[in-house]
Structure 1
């Protein structure tokens, strides 16, 4: 066996937005723990071996913060939480993997279409009241800026469930939402009508890719957003009905091919929590997805071609960044880059922590793609062998600007020894 893929719905927000380290969060730890467990994975030296993938599904309203506050649950340590939540996913995935008996056999096929999600007429077969409705040009709701109770607040002055905008903040943005759009998006408190601004500059997407991939009996519905648990279930049921397969053979692959914020049910949309405020195309966004995915599923089942529609424009030439480059770097006086500021101890006990500090420049000078910022090596038969690098859970690389005026920096490397 060369690998395993395990879909489970949860946000990668065990580690809070105050973290400044590059981190794969709980799903990254799930993959790491499985790939480094030598009971399941056998490889020599650093030869790539078993690949464990943990993609997300319809995790729009599923938080790993079990105590319903950022960085809390099951412990009060965010890094421990990422490890524990990751272990739970990895442990269950391995249990299923070891007991699996049904081969994934059959044909491989797929369909992909592009849909203008701001202009979908949704038939009554997919709407709650059985009447025809339309989606709307995208609007970011006021409660979007509130963030969420469980995963972290965003901007003070905004709260989940807002239906009436905070007027002085809205006035400061100098963005007017016409009454027809506010009515279409009701009961959302409009913050920014991004769909109207996108003619000037693409703020939020309008044309989105909808895809279904068939791998034997497994059908992956690729949705370009964060579908809530119930929204994802409704899509799965719609697609399963069209395909004539059990709903258990249909999975929603979220965050796929594009990103258009959240997708809630009409009932969830009415509550205008963070997820509803972030559902761009109005109350009937989910019914529109159900209708359009049903068309894709029908084509896949019949083996017929389906028109792809108009692909979104290539906006790569218009992208910009607010990130600055490295202005300048200097070593401290009487020092050189690479000098050791704090050396390691002669020896350590198991369970201890080794810490070293070096004179360094800004890490943006070289992002070490395909490489690493640190290695822990062991002397084996007269040869130094790498056993850990900056991708391992036990190691940490922190960069600190010591003096912004003189451009001096240091790198602090820690190794928590098993």
Structure 2
């Protein structure tokens, strides 16, 4: 359906009275694109070498005249407390206490193709060579800008909700763990992953202008695998760009008024690689429990649906976009009316002891937390990104050799071993505090209720909940609200906003925990981690609907970034080869190109970390007008381009940048050129800009004669 048809349709079924104040904003958060390891796969060889898709923060401000809510979905692996704290401090400098710990939700989409070093916890940062302030500052600055833009764009508007099933996008990557859940519980669901896409559609007051969407769907953004070295927002981020491109015709990525957030949900055990895991050497099925081939972890890898990771990303993103658009056009969407409510509390998970009444089993469960620890299967990784070959998933027994290696760092206490039960401890992170905290003990928990009868609940959770863990959280919240206000007050839906505010790894059900696949081994507060969260989110729901308040809970430690360890080498200087200059073209494009071909241009470059060029670009593909002027048609945020950086001499500080543009059928015939923008660092100090431009070349849609008129030269 065309954009104008969508707008006309919206007018038809949109009432005339405004109920909410709504603002949307988008900003570039792209971090350092070269020589900084990516966060997600814990693969030190996966260091950035350029950009395929830029990272963005998509922010939404919603108010009812009394209460404000900020929801920001960010193209990043996850959100750490320090990042959220930095954003809130920035907002308070602008707006006082309008935006604060109570009402700001920041959720990472969980791409594994973005620079790391921003979480300020030793275990997470050491996997990417330590803390990196440039990444940290890039995220805080970009997220802040997106929220400020949303605040400035506030208009009276309306919100509509609907949901629908989306198939052929996700599989459960740990089915053996899922099958450990009670059969009577599993029988309630048709699938072993959640297939519902939940979506909020925001419209202007008169209904003539779509403002944006937020949807939640459970799938890992791991279509781009651990061999990728170009920054990418993966399937979820590309789905956002596809929807925004349609709604903002003629605008470059990240520059339009309409904002589409494809946000993370309970994706813990959900893979987009729908062809499933196979042994890469034989093509045979892997061992289902341990995800090994011939006893080796690294050979069992999940793939699909495309022929390579780029095609898989495009296919999954397209299916996500198509479903979202279907929901957007649905005339049966329910309007959300009534008040807005938000609540937040920090929780010290290891020190939690609760009696939780389980309505499903009609029994009380006594649960307590553990100091954080990672199990053996953590070392094995997943079928989306295998880890060390020495480990396999499903490890429930100690290994004396690995215990001796572990004990060189720190031997877990007997209390720690007993507390974690089925998990053999590989890294006792909660008992390690040198040089700083290895994993968080205090986490953020947050709940928002939009509207009242009907209402939609957004549960911001500090980790990766598995499919069944998310279902139990939804039930606990819905049942608690119903217990207070009656069946008529039961929410339309509870959306799990994953990887929000704090990152504390995974959350499985207690039954899944006993299997100790990767997700269970990475459930860091012990077998009753989920039980504690069920109690906490039920409490948040009850307090919120009763109109009461909670104490803020214990504050997480604020960390001075200057005290954190980093092994990432800084950029010392740049230089050029003898006889060349920055921006000089080393490889020119062909004279003519056709759809389906890739145009490549190579430039003498400086280091990309000299200037991240946020809200800008390292490249442009430009088309010439009839009057000789040039229009930018693609940047480094566009799917069809790649910015690839390579160091050619470490000692001399020389490097090259290659720009690739995949010409598509939709690209109009004409004359084009490619430009590269960058900055170099002088050895005696100072950073200076440069640019380079290729020869003009012609794009044809058929093999006809090249136009060689003087204007085009």
Report if TM-score (shorter chain) is over 0.5. yes
Selected match of 2:440 from 189, 199, 205? 205
| SS of corresponding position for 2:475 | helix
In the TM superposition, 1:245-264 aligns within 5 A as: 245-246=489-490, 248-264=492-508
Say whether residues 1:223 and 2:461 are aligned partners.
Answer: yes
1:11 match: 220
Would you say the 8 A contact 2:456–2:491 is kept in 1? no
Paired with 1:254 and 1:45, the residues of 2 have a C-alpha distance of 28
Selected match of 2:661 from 412, 415, 418? 415
Say whether residues 1:363 and 2:594 are aligned partners.
Answer: no
Would you say the 8 A contact 2:356–2:535 is kept in 1? no
Give unmatched runs, 5+ long, in structure 2: 1-209, 278-300, 483-488, 665-713
Paired with 2:220 and 2:251, the residues of 1 have a C-alpha distance of 34
Say whether residues 1:337 and 2:582 are aligned partners.
Answer: yes
Paired with 1:209 and 1:6, the residues of 2 have a C-alpha distance of 22
Say whether residues 1:106 and 2:338 are aligned partners.
Answer: yes
Would you say the 8 A contact 1:236–1:247 is kept in 2? no
Q: Higher strand fraction: Structure 1 or Structure 2? A: 2
| SS of corresponding position for 1:268 | helix
Would you say the 8 A contact 2:463–2:503 is kept in 1? yes
2:304 match: 73
User: Structure 1 residue 67: deviation in Å?
Assistant: 2.1
User: Structure 1 residue 132: deviation in Å?
Assistant: 1.6
2:418 match: 183
Would you say the 8 A contact 2:268–2:464 is kept in 1? yes
| SS of corresponding position for 1:125 | strand
With normalisation by structure 2, the TM-score equals 0.56
1:315 match: 559
2:370 match: 136
Paired with 1:271 and 1:235, the residues of 2 have a C-alpha distance of 21
User: Structure 1 residue 362: deviation in Å?
Assistant: 1.8
User: Structure 1 residue 71: deviation in Å?
Assistant: 6.0
Would you say the 8 A contact 1:126–1:290 is kept in 2? no
1:34 match: 243
More moved, 237-246 vs 56-65: 237-246
Paired with 1:119 and 1:102, the residues of 2 have a C-alpha distance of 41
Paired with 1:78 and 1:403, the residues of 2 have a C-alpha distance of 30
Say whether residues 1:402 and 2:648 are aligned partners.
Answer: yes
1:196 match: 431
Say whether residues 1:163 and 2:372 are aligned partners.
Answer: no
Paired with 2:338 and 2:543, the residues of 1 have a C-alpha distance of 18
2:80 match: none
User: Structure 1 residue 404: deviation in Å?
Assistant: 2.7
Runs ≥4 in structure 1, deviation > 3 angstroms? Answer: 40-47, 126-131, 245-248
User: Structure 1 residue 200: deviation in Å?
Assistant: 5.9
Deviations along 1:126-179, one digit per CA (max 9) or x if unpaired, are 497734231111111111111012x12111211101112333233223120112
Paired with 2:481 and 2:264, the residues of 1 have a C-alpha distance of 23
| SS of corresponding position for 1:36 | helix
More moved, 283-292 vs 210-219: 210-219
User: Structure 1 residue 270: deviation in Å?
Assistant: 0.4
More moved, 391-400 vs 124-133: 124-133
In the TM superposition, 1:295-310 aligns within 5 A as: 295-310=539-554
Would you say the 8 A contact 1:139–1:281 is kept in 2? yes
Would you say the 8 A contact 1:375–1:386 is kept in 2? yes
Give unmatched runs, 5+ long, in structure 1: none
| SS of corresponding position for 2:604 | strand
| SS of corresponding position for 2:313 | helix
Deviations along 1:28-59, one digit per CA (max 9) or x if unpaired, are 1101111112xx44456785232111001000
Deviations along 1:206-236, one digit per CA (max 9) or x if unpaired, are 1111100112211101100000011011011
| SS of corresponding position for 1:314 | coil
More moved, 365-374 vs 231-240: 365-374
More moved, 399-408 vs 61-70: 399-408
More moved, 21-30 vs 178-187: 178-187
Deviations along 1:43-83, one digit per CA (max 9) or x if unpaired, are 56785232111001000000001122346111230011011
* Change in CA separation of 1:209 and 1:50 when aligned onto 2, cut-off 3 Å: same
Say whether residues 1:115 and 2:347 are aligned partners.
Answer: yes
Say whether residues 1:352 and 2:597 are aligned partners.
Answer: yes
* Change in CA separation of 1:382 and 1:264 when aligned onto 2, cut-off 3 Å: same
More moved, 316-325 vs 266-275: 316-325
With normalisation by structure 1, the TM-score equals 0.95
More moved, 98-107 vs 350-359: 98-107
Matched residues, number: 415
Would you say the 8 A contact 1:262–1:279 is kept in 2? yes
Deviations along 1:334-392, one digit per CA (max 9) or x if unpaired, are 11121110011222122222110011122112211221110011223432111110000
Would you say the 8 A contact 2:220–2:268 is kept in 1? yes
Would you say the 8 A contact 2:481–2:541 is kept in 1? yes
